[in-house]
Amino acid sequence: MRVIWFVGSLLVILGAAPTAQTPEATSLFGKPLISTPPTGDAKVRLEADLAKAQADFDRNPSSADAAIWLGRRLAYLGRFNDAIAAYTRGIQQHPDEARLYRHRGHRYITIRKFDLAAADLRRAAQLVAGKPDEIEPDGAPNRAGIPRSTLQSNIWYHLGLAQYLSGDFNAALVSYREGMKVSRVNDDMLVATSDWLYMTLRRLKRDDEARQVLEPIRDQMDILENTAYHARLLMYKGARSADSVLNLNTADDVQIATQGYGVGNWYLVNGDSRKAREIFDRVVAGNAWQAFGWIAAEADLKRGF
């Protein structure tokens, strides 16, 4: 059992971490969603990171940075509701801190609370309007150790995603258009935003505009993180086959969740709803329910097509 409360400015999370049987969320079909705890070296590393973040927060509970990192480290362990609690307390102390809304909005998406996510991310967008963008530090660094995402590109990316998952493709289009303005800082952010923008435009049957999104996409790009998005964009462009991007016979749950939605959606918007449903069903049959592709496949299956 966990008890969460606030003493003065201090976030207190009593009791053990959630067990393997404690649901963190409920699927759009009403199924309890349970985080799979890490094992081995990953478990040791992630728990050490959380212990440090908790100690930093305990030393300085009024720090927005400490609240953010505590929330991020909890989320990396699959403790999404504890993370949201940490961000919520941070927002109570720092109601004009855009980063807290950005991160809480992200985790509201994870637990399928899309309206709350969109509200947080709209607030974050308001708070950064007219301000210079800033690089976001990595919690899980890439192989080069170079942070690639920015605060504003992440705000618009996640806002567009929350709207897309809700089926509000027109609102998602506005957000992704705004996101493209701050996503040209590097090729990783360019392909991430371009992928969802392309899918949004195809859903709205604005195919000519969708093809324009693909014009900057090349086979050789400076990609450190978002290789999955890059591969899908090349598929949309006709430079790669769907089977080369996703092989359902060999891919594991994570690969299917990562690539499955983009490939399934490509079949859907090109008129093959049977193949799309086959792939979406395979995505949600797996265990990687935290992945955005998993959530998107679930949302489409729930809406029907």
Domains of the chain listed by start with CATH number: 246-305 (1.20.58)
Q: For position 5, what pLDDT does the model report?
A: 45
Per residue of the chain (305 residues), give pLDDT as tens: 454 444 444 454 544 566 557 899 999 999 999 999 899 999 999 999 999 999 999 999 999 999 999 999 999 999 999 999 999 999 999 999 999 999 999 999 999 999 999 999 999 999 999 999 999 999 888 888 899 999 999 999 999 999 999 999 999 999 999 999 999 999 999 999 999 999 999 999 999 999 999 999 999 999 999 999 999 999 999 999 999 999 988 888 888 998 999 999 999 999 999 999 999 999 999 999 999 999 999 999 999 98
> What residues have CB less than 8 Å from 209, skipping those under 6 apart?
201
> What residues have CB less than 8 Å from 250, skipping those under 6 apart?
none
Contact by Cβ (8 Å): 253, 233: no
Tell how far CA 46 is from the center of its chain: 19
Torsion sign across C-alpha atoms 40, 14, 32, 292:
negative
Q: For position 7, what pLDDT does the model report?
A: 41
Find, among 31, 186, 43, 205, the residue nearest to 112 by Cα.
Answer: 31
DSSP 36-105: PPP-HHHHHHHHHHHHHHHHHHHH-TT-HHHHHHHHHHHHHTT-HHHHHHHHHHHHHH-TT-HHHHHHHH
Q: How far apart are CA 80 and CA 175, in angstroms?
A: 25
Q: For position 244, what pLDDT does the model report?
A: 94
Find, among 222, 235, 209, the residue nearest to 246 by Cα.
Answer: 235
- Sole residue written with tokens 């959380």: 50
Contact by Cβ (8 Å): 199, 264: no
Q: For position 252, what pLDDT does the model report?
A: 87
Q: For position 141, what pLDDT does the model report?
A: 83
Q: For position 253, what pLDDT does the model report?
A: 87
Q: How far apart are CA 135 and CA 14, in angstroms?
A: 33
Cut 0.75: pTM above it: yes
Contact by Cβ (8 Å): 259, 251: yes
Contact by Cβ (8 Å): 169, 204: yes
Q: For position 9, what pLDDT does the model report?
A: 42
Dihedral in degrees, nearest 10, Cα atoms 53, 57, 59, 61: 170
Q: For position 11, what pLDDT does the model report?
A: 55
